[in-house]
Amino acid sequence: MNLDIRELTSSLSSYSSATNQAVNMMADAVRPIGYILLGLFFWFEMASWSQMVKSRGGALTQKIWLEALMKYLFAFIMISASSQICDAILELLNIVVKVIAHVTPTVKTTIDSNISGGKGMIEKTIITLVGKAVSGVANIILGIIVFLRYLDLYMLKAIAPLLVAFFMMDSLRSVTINFLKYFAASALIGVILIIVSVVYDSIVAADILKVTTGSSDSWGTAFASIAKGVIYIFVMVGSSRKAKQLLGV
């Protein structure tokens, strides 16, 4: 299967510059609300500290104020840089895709050199045709998956300033953690897609090699390749769910 690595590893700005600009504008619009939430969380926390300290006959110390201010200053920076954090997560996983894609041509060249010539021309033709048909269907599905992937990434980036602010509230911290996991899972889909594609190409090539060398039941291998093709398409469709399962979303 021929994956469009450039599309699969595009940043949010290069995939759709206009959409990314709109998303950045939305993120900038909701960022002040994130700051307001952060201020409220700070007030709630300090009020809680004050009540607890007063119940013990004491008062808020400089150390408590300093620790709280440092913690919320870090949160303020996180909210301000939420868009850059999203871009960094995507870029990190895009690097993984590029590393895997770098070795793919070498794998394909080795396979092609092993299956040239040999026996079982009819069976080999069946496997090859099935492989091409599956590749055609998979390319259509891939286009839809990639579009939905970027749709999720844009949506999450737009509301990131709000969701990051929830990290400072103990009862709402899971919201931020789940957001980061979901964003990473959406980015991880690219890694899963290229791994599955390389593995499937290798399996089909192995089937052709078996037929060529006559090392197994040629017709059985040929028809088994049809089932493998169907399974491959289902795996492609389930790549999003698999990525979320891996990150516990």
Average pLDDT of the segment spanning 219-226 = 65
Please state the domain count of the chain: 1
The answer to whether residue 61 scores a pLDDT higher than 70 is yes
> How many CA atoms within 13 Å lie on the side-chain side of 162?
10
| Residue 3 belongs to a domain | no
Give the pTM.
Answer: 0.79
Confidence of residue 215 (pLDDT cuts 50, 70, 90): low
- pLDDT confidence of residue 112: 44
| Residue 137 belongs to a domain | yes
What is the span of the domain harbouring residue 59? 9-246
| Residue 62 belongs to a domain | yes
| Residue 1 belongs to a domain | no
Between helix 218-237 and helix 121-165 the angle, nearest 10°, is 20
The answer to whether residue 138 scores a pLDDT higher than 80 is no
Contacts of 209 (CB under 8 A, 6+ apart): 111, 114, 115
- pLDDT confidence of residue 134: 72
| Residue 240 belongs to a domain | yes
CB 244, CB 148: distance < 8 Å:
no
| Residue 2 belongs to a domain | no
Average pLDDT of the segment spanning 218-236 = 71
For residue 230 the two structure tokens come to 């169907």
| Residue 112 belongs to a domain | yes
| Residue 207 belongs to a domain | yes
